[in-house]
A and B are shown apart, each in its own frame.
Chain A
């Protein structure tokens, strides 16, 4: 029994060890594109290498879905802990500013704020990303590192689920702290330009046990001067569902990975404002 306990302890310790998945080599933006235009932003997307679901896991998930009465994703909050470490380098001899926006996808939906229009008012603020978008100054030819912590990515995952499955307004989700939420209430779809319309609760609340974890990380790098960004995704695989080949799994063992096909989240676009 003691031997078994020791073995279990070692296994548990190993599953909590982080694994690092490198992102695209060098996201570069802020330079001329050769046609007189400035490359304003660079985008990168990294899908986590999630192994195919076992029969036992699928059965357990179906049982949980029947018990909760809601769709239960394969990869849930708490299955993995993700953080994103990045380093930006200013290649310009002048001081610059950059913003880094975090978006992503769970297995149901992908969230790209650039295609989500919440208002037809030209002066309305842009749809927010899930995290980031903070202007950061960087000295001439300087380097700066930072991180989206595990709790930030967890918050972003829950916000994404609440926005997409729950129709929660992205500003509401972004400005409230949901990382410890026990559930969220799905609402009727938003109708952004109808001032008389009030979203109503619809269906049962979705409990935390059915919260979807982000399985794809999307970054948008927006520098003011010529800069390059590198990042690495750090994963702690608490449930043992991340493929051991990590970033190489797609090339070397594609058959052992789950292929997720999230839908693009696109609420009903607002009606154009009548011309005065």
Chain B
């Protein structure tokens, strides 16, 4: 119930207030934050830092499409051996976003699908990955808010996404990011 309500609110707010001037069109975002796995996988991988890049285009003032690439690094904690080993989770895919703006603040919902890659098979031992399975489908969905700077091209934001990778033993993770957005 909360999801549709929030969506309605976000869409309804778009264009209601007199917003601070902001560019619309092609955009790029770069962010960093942290990714943590949820129970089921969290026992075998510690939270780690992430970086995320997005490129896309605002098709309407309330809807945009883009691509996203992300990488996070985690310490693996399966039963030893091995010990003190790290792996990286790489993701890439398509991303859609809907939202609206109230003056200098924008709220949005985002989601998409793509592929995920574990950099090593260190989690084979606990069945998260399987030998030879390097790539897997990945889905993500989340929300965030954005603060429009006085320069109409720039905004900063804070967002969070939930990630699901069904083929990797249904691994689930939550990632947050603080980002800078440039809109051409």
Contacts and interface: CB of A to CB of B under 8 A. Distances in A.
Contact of B120 (A20, A86, A230): A20
A232 B131 contact: no
The DSSP consensus for interface residues of chain B is loop
The 6 tightest CB contacts between A and B, nearest first, are A85-B81, A85-B82, A248-B131, A17-B119, A87-B80, A232-B81
A14 B132 CA distance: 14
A20 B80 contact: no
A246 B88 CA distance: 19
Contacts, number: 48
Contacts of B119: 14, 17
Interface size class of A (residues with CB under 8 A): 10 to 19
A132 interface: no
A20 B82 contact: yes
B83 interface: yes
Contacts of A14: 119
B167 interface: no
B121 A230 contact: no
Contacts of B121: 19-20, 246
Contact of A22 (B83, B85, B125, B134): B125
Contact of A19 (B81, B83, B88, B120): B120
B76 to A, nearest CB: 9
Interface in A219-234: 230-232, 234
Given A20-B85, A230-B80, A245-B132, 18 more contacts: A14-B119, A17-B120, A18-B122, A19-B120, A20-B120, A20-B124, A20-B125, A85-B80, A85-B83, A86-B81, A87-B83, A145-B83, A231-B81, A232-B82, A234-B85, A244-B132, A244-B134, A248-B131
Contacts of A19: 120-121
Interface of A: 14, 17-20, 22, 85-87, 145, 230-232, 234, 244-248
A172 to B, nearest CB: 32
Nearest to B123: A20
A17 B122 CA distance: 10
The DSSP consensus for interface residues of chain A is strand
A8 B125 CA distance: 30
B114 to A, nearest CB: 15
A247 B131 contact: yes
A230 to B, nearest CB: 6
A14 B120 CA distance: 9
B81 A145 contact: yes
A234 B132 contact: no
Nearest to B83: A145
Contacts of B85: 18, 20, 234
A228 B117 CA distance: 34
A179 B90 CA distance: 35
Contact of A245 (B81, B122, B125, B131): B131
Interface string B74-103: 000000111101001000000000000000
A145 B84 CA distance: 11
Nearest to A23: B81
Nearest to A17: B119
Given A14-B119, A20-B120, A20-B125, A87 B131 contact: no
24 contacts: A14-B119, A17-B88, A17-B120, A18-B85, A18-B120, A18-B122, A19-B120, A20-B85, A20-B122, A20-B124, A20-B125, A22-B124, A85-B81, A145-B80, A231-B81, A234-B82, A234-B85, A244-B132, A245-B132, A246-B121, A246-B132, A247-B131, A248-B131, A248-B132
A199 B80 CA distance: 45
B132 A230 contact: no
Contacts of A85: 80-83
